[in-house]
């Protein structure tokens, strides 16, 4: 099948992060003209050599008010989007605007993966293990239930995007994950949300390491598969991945089949990461969540040769068949600034791991941090020798914020 030349352009909405930058770089490397849209003049994706044009996003305007005009002007054949907020807004717009495919999930599917309780129900239906979970309700005897749980426990919101504005209005800081080691500590954590009338989910803490299986789904099957493990996170108690490594495709095959079955059961189309805690000692995989979008560690997949944005473009725009199983390279990827913040956290407080885990060793963590700069297999979320301007723009933006 011959490809058109030049390839039809694509719009990437949300190039302010390393995720959007990776999508721009990946599509551009394959010859796709990319229109990059960012919220700031310091958006890293707009500085990439692979960005054909940078568009500063209009402030305080709905996407429906300006995006169709930009699509018509550019002749874009595909729209990629990065943030959950934009995905939610796009989910109610048509799947096609003019001749442009809006490559984002529809609302019914997005609602499932954004709601952790619905995700857990879907996972159990296909035989995936889930942590014991409790959704506290107003008026429920919290102390009685808290006394029956196994500790430590983790608190996390069922649908984080739905809570951002409510928490902000109530003057309560959003916590991606919080921990409690005893019933009394849990009740203190829950008490701060009493006036809000809503509580986060309480889950039994499970051991192991962060393990992600990434799939590009189309028509009920995966066109591309990839997997990685988290090596470091920020905050150090659990958060975004700051260092991750590829996991060979011939490992964890049975679990990959379950991940694919889960996404197929939901009716998912497009990229997604099924995120687990995996305990090698027991062989168990505990589902944490489904990331129904391009995930934070996408740079690792792209640098290893698993090109999810390009695969989605090939399917949706070029109508090309799946290319079969790929052999991706062993790589590591590092998010340098958050990784540095993590080290500072540990140097200040080695006990920050929480949840009953042993304290970090300051010397071991510092040595590991420095040694990673010398690892030839380690790439970076933003820095690239062949595309250096995004890092320069990022640093410029950081300095500009410090001057304010």
**269 shares a domain with 246:** yes
Same domain, 183 and 310: no
- CATH number, domain of 88, equals 3.40.50.720
Q: In CATH, what number is assigned to the domain containing residue 150? A: 3.30.1490
Question: How far apart are alpha carbons 162 and 367 in whole angstroms?
Answer: 40
Report the pLDDT value the prediction gives residue 237, as an integer from 0 to 100.
Answer: 82
The conformational region for residue 317 under phi > 0 = left, psi -120 to 50 = alpha, else beta, is alpha
- For 225, the token pair is 């598969």
Cα 56 to chain center, whole Å? 23
For residue 240, tell me if it sits in a domain: yes
Provide the CATH number for the domain around residue 375.
3.30.470.20
- According to the 3-state scheme, what is the secondary structure of 98-145? CCEEECCCCHHHHHHHHCHHHHHHHHHHCCCECCCEECCCCCCCHHHH
* Total structural domains within the chain: 3
Q: What pLDDT score was predicted for residue 327? A: 85
Looking at the structure, do residues 222 and 355 belong to the same domain, yes or no? yes
The Cβ-side half-sphere exposure at 227, using a 13 Å CA radius, reads 21
Cα–Cα dist 10/106, whole Å: 19
pLDDT reported for residue 263: 98
Cα separation, 211 vs 142, whole angstroms: 32
The parent domain of residue 39 ranges over 10-104
How wide is the angle at C-alpha 313 spanned by C-alphas 385 and 306, nearest 5°? 50
Which token pair is 222? Answer: 């995966």
Burial 87-118 (b: 16+ CB within 10 A, else e): bbbbbebeeebeebbbbbbeeebbbbbbbbeb
Residue 109 lies in a domain: no
Q: With the C-alpha atoms ordered 142, 148, 150, 152, is the resulting torsion angle positive or negative?
A: positive
| Same-domain check for residues 186 and 265 | no
Q: Are residues 187 and 214 in the same domain?
A: no
From CA 183, how far away is CA 147, in angstroms rounded? 6
Q: Are residues 200 and 215 in the same domain?
A: no
Residue 158 lies in a domain: yes
What is the per-residue pLDDT for 1?
60
pLDDT for the residue numbered 281:
93
Specify the DSSP element, H or E, that contains 375. Answer: none
At residue 321, the pLDDT reads: 92
**For residue 356, what pLDDT is reported?**
64
Domain boundary among 140, 169, 204: 204
What does 164-190 look like in DSSP terms, one character per residue? HHHHHHTT----S-EEESSHHHHHHHH
Q: Is 4 domain-assigned?
A: no
Contact 271, 294 (CB under 8 A): yes
Neighbours of 253 (CB within 10 A): 11
Where a domain ends, among 143, 169, 204?
204
Whether this model's pTM surpasses 0.85: yes
The verdict on whether omega for the bond into residue 235 sits within 30 degrees of 0, i.e. cis, is yes
Residues of the chain with pLDDT under 70: 1, 354-356
Collapsing DSSP to helix, strand or coil, 72 comes out as helix
Question: Which of 204, 233, 255 represents a domain boundary (last residue)?
Answer: 204
Assess whether 225 and 138 both reside in one domain: no
232 and 198 both lie in a single domain: no
What tens digit of pLDDT does each residue of 261-270 get? 999 999 999 9
Q: Do residues 248 and 234 share a domain?
A: yes
């Amino acid at each position: 099948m011959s490809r058109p030349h030049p390839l039809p352009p694509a719009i990437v909405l949300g190039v302010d992060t390393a995720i959007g930058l990776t999508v721009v770089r990946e599509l551009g490397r394959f010859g796709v003209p990319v229109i990059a849209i960012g919220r700031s003049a310091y958006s890293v994706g707009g500085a990439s050599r692979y960005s054909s044009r940078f568009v500063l996003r209009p402030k305080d305007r709905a996407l429906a008010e300006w995006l169709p005009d930009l699509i018509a002007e550019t002749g874009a054949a595909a729209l990629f989007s990065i943030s959950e907020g934009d995905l939610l807004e796009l989910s109610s717009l048509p799947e096609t605007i003019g001749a442009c495919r809006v490559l984002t999930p529809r609302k019914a599917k997005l609602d499932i993966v954004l709601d952790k309780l619905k995700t857990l129900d879907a996972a159990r239906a296909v035989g995936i293990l889930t942590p014991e979970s409790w959704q506290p309700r107003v008026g429920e005897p919290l102390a009685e239930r808290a006394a029956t749980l196994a500790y430590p426990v983790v608190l996390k919101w069922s649908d984080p995007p739905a809570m951002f504005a409510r928490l902000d209005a109530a003057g309560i800081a959003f916590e991606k994950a919080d921990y409690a080691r005893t019933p009394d500590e849990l009740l203190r954590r829950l008490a701060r949300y009493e006036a809000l009338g809503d509580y986060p989910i309480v889950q039994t803490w499970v051991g192991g390491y962060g393990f992600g299986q990434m799939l590009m789904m189309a028509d009920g099957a995966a066109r591309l598969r990839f997997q990685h493990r988290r090596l470091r996170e920020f905050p150090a108690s659990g958060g975004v991945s700051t260092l991750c490594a590829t996991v060979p495709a011939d490992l964890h095959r049975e679990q990959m089949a379950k991940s694919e079955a889960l996404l197929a059961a939901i009716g998912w189309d497009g990229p997604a990461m099924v995120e687990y805690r995996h305990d090698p000692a027991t062989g168990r995989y505990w589902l944490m969540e489904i990331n129904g979008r391009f995930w934070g560690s996408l740079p690792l997949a792209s640098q290893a040769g698993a090109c999810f944005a390009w695969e989605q473009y090939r399917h949706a725009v070029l109508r090309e068949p799946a290319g079969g199983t790929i052999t991706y390279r062993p790589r590591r990827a590092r998010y340098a600034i958050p990784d540095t913040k993590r080290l500072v956290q540990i140097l200040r407080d080695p006990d920050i791991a929480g949840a009953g885990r042993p304290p970090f060793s300051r010397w071991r963590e510092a040595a590991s941090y420095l040694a990673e700069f010398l690892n030839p297999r380690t790439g970076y979320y933003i820095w690239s020798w062949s595309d250096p301007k995004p890092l320069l723009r990022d640093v410029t933006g950081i300095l500009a914020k410090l001057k304010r």
